[in-house]
Amino acid sequence: MIEKILLAVDDSSAALKAARPAIDLDAATRAQLRVLHTVEDHVLTDAVGRVSTARDVARRREVAGENVLRKVVQLAHGAGVPAHTTLKGGELARCLLAETRIWQADLVIVGLAVGTSGDAHAGEAAIVEFADQPVLIVPDRARQGVRSG
């Protein structure tokens, strides 16, 4: 029985596409839904901060993450599904695997943007390999003209 669903989102269309089946499944099972967003790549944040005139680059990235979480919560509430959010700092796979263990999720759902970098695929592969629960990967085949067949 599915009682807890953990949905990992970023600001990609794939992640937002993955939100829909997570919300639908949650509505059907009346499970708890937790939405996780990670702010990662602190090296990039530091580098941009050194060369940019913009202040508080790290805080701006956190605000962007909060906005993504807010969007998913709005989608969930529109479907009558309560959703709780968590924002973590660090690498997605590591944060997600830790959160699944701490929160004891029954199912993990993530979006997969076809044609993304090898690092993204490596992170998703680590999630599938090391998760103690089923992982549903929702592909975003609309990106880069990929056709199923």
The domain that holds 95 is classified in CATH as 3.40.50.620
Type of residue numbered 37: H
Task: Give the model confidence (pLDDT) of 37-87 as tens digits.
Answer: 988 765 555 566 566 655 677 777 788 889 999 999 999 999 999 999 999
For residues 138 and 31, which has the higher predicted lDDT (pLDDT)?
31
Number of domains in the chain: 1
Structure tokens at 92: 């997605």
pTM above 0.85, yes or no: no
**Averaged pLDDT of the chain:** 82
Task: Give the model confidence (pLDDT) of 82-113 as tens digits.
Answer: 999 999 988 889 999 999 999 999 999 998 66
Task: Give the model's confidence band at 134: pLDDT under 50 very low, under 70 low, under 90 confident, else very high.
Answer: very high
What is the number of other CB atoms lying within 10 angstroms of the CB of residue 103?
15
- Domain with 92, as residue range(s), is 4-145
Task: Give the model's confidence band at 15: pLDDT under 50 very low, under 70 low, under 90 confident, else very high.
Answer: confident
Structure tokens at 40: 């990662």
Residue 135, pLDDT > 90, answer yes
Residue 128, pLDDT > 80, answer yes
Q: Indicate the DSSP class of residue 2.
A: -
